[in-house]
Structure 1
Amino acid sequence: MRVIVAEDQGMLRGALSALLDLEDDIEVVGQAADGEQALRMIETLDPDLCVMDIEMPKLTGLDVAERIKEAKHGCKVVILTTFSRSGYFQRAMRAGVKGFLLKDSPIDELGAALRSVHGGGRAVSPELAMQLWEAENPLTEREREVLKLAGAGLGAGEIASRLFLSHGTVRNYLSEAIQKLDAKNRIEATLIAERNGWLG
C-alpha cells in the first residue's frame, strides 16, 4: 500500500516514514510538513492512505480529511494525535477518517491499523475509544434503553410495561434524552443517538 506521512515535526515525520518503510507491504511515497502540502501530494501522488497529525500549519489534519471527502478522493485518512478531545474525534468521524490513533502507539500497532483501514475497516486506539465514549455519551443507561425501544416503534405505555416502569417515568426519561441531545422529538433523539453510537 502506498502511504503519505503528514507531520509538521521534521524528526518525527522522518522517523515515522523510515519505520513504516521497513514494513514489507507499505511504501511511503511522500512526506508533507503541513496540511496544504499533504493535500497537494494526495492529489498528485494518489496514495492509498495518508497518516496525518491533527495539529499542522496552514490546514489541520481534519481540514485535509474534509477536503478529501468533499473531493470524493479514494485516499483513506488515519489521524495520529496526542489529543483525546472528543470534539476532534466526532469531527474526524464526520470527515470520513478511518483511523484515530495516539502518537505514542507502538509502530506495529500503526502498521496493523493501516492494514485494517486499507482492507476496508476502521482503527481506533482502545484508550481513545474508551475515553471518548465515557466523555461523549451524555445518556444514562436507562435513557439509552428507553430511547432504543422508542426507536423500535414502541409507545410510552409499551416501554413502561417492558421495563417495569410507570408511564410518567418513561415520559421523563424520554424528555431528558430529547433535551440532552438537543432534539425536537423522540425520533430525532433516537437518530442522533444511533448516529453517534450511543445506544450501545
Structure 2
Amino acid sequence: MIRVLLADDEHLVRTAIATLLGLEPDLEVVAQVARGDEVAAAVAAHDPDVVVLDIEMPGMDGLTAADALPGRAVVILTSFGRPGHLRRALAAGVRGFLPKDAPAEELATAIRKVHTGGRYLDPELTATAMMAGDNPLTDRERDALRSAAAGASVAEIARTLHLTEGTVRNYLSSAITKLGATNRITAIRAAEEKGWL
C-alpha cells in the first residue's frame, strides 16, 4: 500500500479526494490536515509515502510546506496552476504538479509515479511555465511587493524589511518597471498572475 497524506483547507474537496483515492486498491489515505503549518507534524506522526498538498492554505502555503519536506515524495494539487508556482514547486523538490480539475485516476497515477521516484507534471501547466520565462524579480522586490499587496505602506514595509523608505520605493519602482506595470497595484496583479509572489 502507498500511504498518502492530504493537505487542503477545503474540507469538502479534501474528503472527496480522500474518498476517491480510497477506492484505489493500492492507495491508503493515512492522514488529512487543513493547514499548511500542520503538514510537518502530520508527516512526522504518520510517515506517509506521498504527501499531496494544496498551494493556498492558512498558516503556511503548500509550496513552503513542500520546501520543508526534503526528500519526501510530494504532489501539488491546486486550483492555482500559475507558471511561477510550478517553478517554485520544482525548486522545492516537488515531483508532481496537477490542477484540481484533473480526473481522480490521474491523481492516483501521479501518486504512484512519484512514489517510485518519477515525476508527473501536467503538460499544459508545464508548457505555460516554459513560455512565461523566469521570474525577473529579486527576493527584496518580491518581499516589498508582497507587503504592499497585504496593504502595508512604504513606511511599514521599510520597518518590516529593515530598510529605508527610499530603498523600499526603489524596490517597488524596479518591480513595476520589470513587470511592465504602470503602478504598484498592476505590478502586484501581474506578479500574482504569474505565481511570482
SS in 2 for 1:30: strand
Match of 1:80 among 77, 82, 102: 77
Q: State the Cα distance separating 1:137 from its structure 2 match.
A: 6.4
SS in 2 for 1:78: strand
Q: State the Cα distance separating 1:89 from its structure 2 match.
A: 1.3
Structure 2 counterparts to residues 50-69 of structure 1, below 5 A? 50-69=51-70
Alignment of 1:112 with 2:121, yes or no, is no
SS in 1 for 2:58: coil
Superposed CA offset, 1:13-55 (max 9, x none): 0000010011000000000000122221001111100111000
Q: Distance in 2 between matches of 1:18 and 1:27?
A: 10
SS in 1 for 2:30: strand
For normalisation by structure 1, the TM-score amounts to 0.64
Superposed CA offset, 1:73-111 (max 9, x none): x43110011122222111111110010100000001111
Q: 2:87–2:129: 8 Å Cα contact kept in structure 1?
A: no
For normalisation by structure 2, the TM-score amounts to 0.65
Structure with greater contact order relative to length (CA < 8 Å, sep ≥ 6) = 2
Structure 1 unaligned regions, length at least 5: 139-200
Q: 1:84–1:131: 8 Å Cα contact kept in structure 2?
A: no
1:34 alignment partner in structure 2: 35
The aligned length equals: 134
SS in 1 for 2:5: strand
Q: Distance in 2 between matches of 1:137 and 1:65?
A: 20
Indicate how the Cα distance of structure 1 residues 97 and 85 shifts in structure 2: closer, same or farther if over 3 A, else same. same
Q: Distance in 1 between matches of 2:76 and 2:16?
A: 17
Q: Distance in 2 between matches of 1:137 and 1:6?
A: 28
Q: How many percent identity over aligned positions?
A: 46
Q: Distance in 1 between matches of 2:134 and 2:124?
A: 16
Q: Distance in 2 between matches of 1:80 and 1:18?
A: 16
Indicate how the Cα distance of structure 1 residues 38 and 137 shifts in structure 2: closer, same or farther if over 3 A, else same. closer
1:182 alignment partner in structure 2: none
Q: 1:42–1:75: 8 Å Cα contact kept in structure 2?
A: no
Runs (4 or more) in structure 1 with deviation over 6 Å come to none
Match of 2:118 among 118, 121, 131: 121
1:44 alignment partner in structure 2: 45
Structure 2 counterparts to residues 15-34 of structure 1, below 5 A? 15-34=16-35
Q: Distance in 2 between matches of 1:133 and 1:90?
A: 9
SS in 2 for 1:68: coil
Q: Distance in 2 between matches of 1:114 and 1:35?
A: 19
Q: Distance in 1 between matches of 2:127 and 2:79?
A: 15
Q: Distance in 2 between matches of 1:122 and 1:82?
A: 19
